[in-house]
Amino acid sequence: MMKWLVVMMCFFYVVFSGGSVDFCDGSRGEISCPIGKTILVYTAFYGRNNPGTCPGSNTQYNCQANGGDDYVKNACTGQNSCYLSSFDDILGDPCRGTTKYMHVDFECL
């Protein structure tokens, strides 16, 4: 089982080693691998499909923006680290009035 560490400081997340991570709406996140390793993104999702992730105004579930997977793969795959932020600005708002999040499954190779 892969291990990962999440550090949160003022809505900024840093993730090392691989696994899964959720970046809440309005936050900025960094996915980072140890020196000499690069990120492989398996899947990414922007929207909401879990009522317990990123509490807030949650009027809809099972909403997803198109292009979230491609956005994260293009930004992060093959890099040692990458930054992700402002998801609504890039992907649109798939469910207005609902707190959304970016979910990323990745590994450091």
User: Each residue of 12-61: pLDDT tens digit?
Assistant: 445 556 788 898 888 888 999 999 999 999 999 999 988 888 887 766 77
Q: Are 57 and 44 a contacting pair, CB within 8 Å? A: no
- Look up the domain containing 36 and give its range: 25-100
Q: How far apart are CA 96 and CA 51, in angstroms?
A: 16
Q: Which distant-in-sequence residues (6+ apart) come within 8 Å of 102 by Cβ?
A: 22, 23, 29, 44, 45, 46, 68, 72, 84, 87
Q: Are 46 and 23 a contacting pair, CB within 8 Å? A: no
Please indicate, yes or no, if residue 19 is contained in any of the structural domains.
no
User: Is residue 95 predicted with pLDDT exceeding 90?
Assistant: no
Q: How far apart are CA 4 and CA 55, in angstroms?
A: 22
Q: How far apart are CA 15 and CA 85, in angstroms?
A: 14
pLDDT at 103: 93
Please indicate, yes or no, if residue 91 is contained in any of the structural domains.
yes
Please indicate, yes or no, if residue 15 is contained in any of the structural domains.
no
The DSSP string of 38-79 is -EEEEEEEEEE--TTSS-S-----SEE-TTHHHHHHHHHTT-
Please indicate, yes or no, if residue 64 is contained in any of the structural domains.
yes
Please indicate, yes or no, if residue 68 is contained in any of the structural domains.
yes
Please indicate, yes or no, if residue 13 is contained in any of the structural domains.
no
How many structural domains compose the chain?
1
Please indicate, yes or no, if residue 80 is contained in any of the structural domains.
yes
- CATH of residue 62's domain is 2.60.120.740
Please indicate, yes or no, if residue 70 is contained in any of the structural domains.
yes
